[in-house]
């Protein structure tokens, strides 16, 4: 789905990423981001729509005690800041780069509103992406509320494989820059529980993981085993 950049004859990528094109590149050289760079902080003014072209970005917030909570990991083709089009004036979360060489494309909210008003294909695509974002949040809430920790981990791995994975043998492999603490926060578990569950899944042959990659030999078998154990 992330590779579908064209809406009929409409090139969404070209509008948000003009640096891809030689004439623009000569005047505006690319600037990549390093791991731990921030695209924006909580309560920063929401002035731009940001499209991730390469790498991954962590979205989260801090509580009153300074504890970090990760809400989502976004990758190529995903957009940040789109709620500014709905009237939000400040960011509610921070956006932190988690892969060296991450590249993003930016457009001012004013320009995006102008295009939304005057250019129907752009408006349709932005609305579609906002809708996808809302559906993903709803799915995340459903998983956190109604599934046990093991199933939450499996659902997370499934989403990562389907979004970022590439085929390998009969399964999927995907690169990541997540710590076990990141994964724990994303599934609403303690770091210890997440670590134990990852080790269990590897011991049972359902995954192979290290600090850079996760390989799932058989995604369907992983899901079925998790459901049986949970009594679903």
Tell me the average pLDDT of the chain.
Answer: 82
| Least confident stretch, 113-117, 140-144, 185-189, 213-217 | 140-144
Q: Roughly what angle, to the nearest 10 degrees, separates helices 149-164 and 219-230?
A: 160
CATH 3.40.50.920 correct for 6-144 = no
Give per-residue pLDDT as tens, 123-175.
Answer: 888 888 888 878 877 877 777 776 788 888 998 899 888 888 899 988 999 98
User: Which residue in 104, 130, 105, 103 sits closest to 116, CA to CA?
Assistant: 130
Q: Where are the domains of the chain?
A: 6-144, 148-230
Q: 148-230: what fold?
A: Arc Repressor Mutant, subunit A (1.10.10)
């Amino acid at each position: 789905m992330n590779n579908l950049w064209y809406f009929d004859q409409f090139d969404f990528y070209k509008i948000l990423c003009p640096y891809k094109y030689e004439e623009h590149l000569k005047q505006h050289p690319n600037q990549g981001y390093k791991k731990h760079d921030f695209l924006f902080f909580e309560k920063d003014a929401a002035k731009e729509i940001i499209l991730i072209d390469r790498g991954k970005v962590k979205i989260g917030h801090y509580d009153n005690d300074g504890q970090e909570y990760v809400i989502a990991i976004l990758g190529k083709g995903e957009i940040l800041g789109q709620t500014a089009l709905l009237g939000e004036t400040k960011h509610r979360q921070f956006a932190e780069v988690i892969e060296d060489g991450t590249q993003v494309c930016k457009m001012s909210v004013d320009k995006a509103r102008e295009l939304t008003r005057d250019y129907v294909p752009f408006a349709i695509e932005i609305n579609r992406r906002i809708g996808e974002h809302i559906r993903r949040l709803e799915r995340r809430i459903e998983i956190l509320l109604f599934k046990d920790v093991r199933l939450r981990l499996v659902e997370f791995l499934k989403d990562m494989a389907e979004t970022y994975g590439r085929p390998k043998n009969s399964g999927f492999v995907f690169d990541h820059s997540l710590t076990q603490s990141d994964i724990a926060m994303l599934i609403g578990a303690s770091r210890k529980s997440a670590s134990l569950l990852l080790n269990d899944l590897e011991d049972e042959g359902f995954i192979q993981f290290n600090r850079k990659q996760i390989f799932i030999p058989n995604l369907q078998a992983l899901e079925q085993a998790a459901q049986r154990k949970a009594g679903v």
